[in-house]
Amino acid sequence: MPSPPPAPLPCGVPAFAPLRVRGGGGHRLRRALWRQRRALAAGLALTAAALAATGLGGGGTAGGDAAYGAGAGGTAGAAPERARRPARLVSAPIRIADAGTVRLLRPGDHVDVITAGEARAGTGFRVLAKGARVAEVPHAAADGVAGFEGSGGSTEDGALIVLTVPRETATALAGAGISSQLAVTLC
């Protein structure tokens, strides 16, 4: 068996100045504060996004729809505020003259609602709602009645659909549905 190699000769550790860490825990404190500020900023951003999505933010009035009133004597400053506020959407059931067209619709489709103007006035057709989202298309009942069960309408009267539209548009649709027939076009 061969002999092991000789061990290196001992050498000394070179001399160096002692290390000094400045501040000690100050860096940890700054880092903790930075993390806390970052978490707070993220929380505020999430809250703002949630309020924007629900329409609850934006300095509303105590009267609710007071800023949306027709001819409510608004001032020049009321128009920019009205432009910033999101439109309040409502469900508007309307009866479409052509029941066959309604069978083509599915919830989530976007449609334009068209009405015929007064024939005597010669106003022609006009669009009441552009890009309205179809919320529901009620199925025909077993006895051949179109619309919701027990609605009392026949397929000759058209078919019922429910649209999600701004409140002002729903009012216009309801008024036009009483005096004239409505039609839809798919967007």
pLDDT per residue as tens digits for the range 54-66: 766 554 444 444 4
Contact indicator for 81, 181 with CB cutoff of 8 Å: no
pLDDT at 112: 92
Q: In this structure, which amino acid lies at residue 23? A: G
How many whole angstroms separate alpha carbon 60 and alpha carbon 66? 10
Q: Is the pLDDT of residue 94 over 60?
A: yes
Residue with more model confidence, 72 or 179: 179
Kindly provide the b/e burial profile for residues 149-177, where b requires at least 16 CB atoms within 10 angstroms of the residue's own CB: eebeeeeebbbbbbbbbbeebbebbeebb
Q: Which residues contact 61 (CB under 8 A, 6 or more apart)?
A: 67
Give the model's pLDDT for residue 21.
67
Q: What is the pLDDT of residue 81?
A: 53
pLDDT of res. 99: 86
**Mean pLDDT value across residues 33-60:** 78
Three-state DSSP at 176 gives: helix
Q: What is the mean pLDDT of residues 73-92?
A: 63
Report residue 70's pLDDT band, with 50, 70 and 90 as the boundaries.
very low
Are the C-beta atoms of residues 109 and 134 closer than 8 Å to each other? yes
Quick one: pLDDT band at residue 42, thresholds 50, 70, 90? confident
Q: Helices in 116-184 by DSSP H: which ranges?
A: 167-179
pLDDT at 93: 92
Across residues 150-167, what is the average pLDDT? 72
Computed over every residue of the chain, the mean pLDDT equals 74
